[in-house]
Chains A and B, each alone.
Chain A
Amino acid sequence: MDAPVEERFGRSPYLILIDTDTGTETSIQNPGADAAGGVGPRTVQLLVNHGVKAVVTGQVGGNAASALQAAGIDAYQYRAGGTVRDALALYRAGKLTRLL
């Protein structure tokens, strides 16, 4: 929760899954973060497999955006350079711009 937010969605080395009902946090590694291409859809697949409904990130590429839309996952933008905790606080307060 104290780690800085990676601004590039598909290149995020870790994804922090937060259950907003129970408040539980799980960290999963993004195996495709260093891949040559197609990281957007592959990261979205990971979110789909974990039943994620919304994502907070800096920016999403074209393929990631199509994949997120296809999967019905909302995307919110956080680019203040803070930690995952900071981003989550702004998300909960409804202060983040919606990307998708």
Chain B
Amino acid sequence: MNVAKIAVASGKGGTGKSTVAANLGYSLAQERDVVLVDCDVEEPNLHLFFQDGRSESPVTTPVPVIDTSACTFCGRCAEQCRYGALLVLENDIRFFRELCHSCGGCSLVCPTGAVREEMEAVGRVWESRPFPHLRLISGVLDVGEIHSTRVIQAAKQAAEPAGLIIYDAPPGTACPVVETMEDSDFCLLVTESTPFGLHDLELAAAVAKKLCVPAGVVINRSDGDDAETMAVCSRHDLPVLLRIPFDRKIAAWQNRGELFAVHMPQWQGRFTDLYTRIQDIAGGSR
């Protein structure tokens, strides 16, 4: 089976996830249809590499609305809410919208049917087609919202059905990263040879392992001396699949918000080879 979904993660922010995802997506789109999905919904930035008009659709989530005329203020809804989103007073009830995780538990436990759910917007999904074979989908979480996984799900849904999908994961290893990696066939871990970079690489690798997603590493901004990174990778059985050197020309294109693979075509071949190696590692195993 072909590897159809690749998550690009790193653990640490600023390592070059979006750079790798964008250049990989662009390179592969020279030969086939590719969908790039920006799952870093709190700070989506993949679109900065591309110029194209985009369409927008809202992402909604259910939140409770309480009919105080039917409510007996028994307090069961607040009791079951793990997030403190409901406060039941003697004859009033307060709802803290920003604490609500949309689990729907309050409406399930209410004995008088006083809680109904209404859909409210928590973010948006942008969609564009910057190149003939490349679709770009970005999840954008509204400021102050907590429902990042809801927006990630919506962005992932918008990408389907597609032959090859590349997810640009958020930094860190919390729920949004798990949500992004979860149904991926392969996880590409981008790292840099710094103590923080390597530490966070190990955390991200542990998440991929826990989710049973095969993983490999891209070393970004490599200064040529990668012994320490190699040691970490071999300790965790992570193959190093590509090295992107610390190169002024690459940095210059990057600074202009451009894809270096567009201007340095030899890299298109390297990213295509990277995909071939991913196929070799994960293609037969799932």
> Chain A residues with Cβ under 8 A from B75's Cβ?
45, 49
Q: Do A45 and B92 touch across chains, with their CB atoms under 8 A apart?
A: no
What CA separation (Å) do A39 and B82 show in the bound complex? 9
How many chain B residues sit at the interface, stated as a range, is 10 to 19
Q: Assuming A70-B89, A71-B89, is B84 touching A45 (CB within 8 A)?
A: yes
Interface size on A, residues (CB 8 A): 18
Rounded to whole Å, the gap between the CB of A72 and the closest CB of chain B is 8
Q: Is A63 on the interface with B (CB-CB < 8 A)?
A: yes
Question: A residues engaging B (CB < 8 A)?
Answer: 32, 35-42, 44-45, 48-49, 63, 66-67, 70-71
Would you give the 0/1 interface string for B86-111, flagging 1 where the beta carbon is closer than 8 Å to chain A? 11111010101011000000000000
Q: Nearest B residue to A42 by beta-carbon distance?
A: B84
Hey, which bits of chain B sit against chain A, CB under 8 A? 75, 78, 81-90, 92, 94, 96, 98-99
Nearest residue, chain B, Cβ from A69: B94
Q: Which residues of chain A have C-beta atoms less than 8 A from B82's C-beta?
A: 35, 38
Question: When the two chains form their complex, are residues B96 and A63 in contact, meaning their CB atoms are under 8 A apart?
Answer: yes
- Rounded to whole angstroms, the CA-CA distance of A35 and B101 in the bound complex is 14
Are A38 and B88 closer than 8 Å at their CB atoms?
A: no
Partner pick for A70 among B81, B83, B92, B99, CB 8 A cutoff:
B92
**Is the Cβ of B99 less than 8 Å from the Cβ of A45?**
no
Across-interface contacts of A35 in B (CB, < 8 A) = 82-84
Name the CB-closest residue of A to B88.
Answer: A45
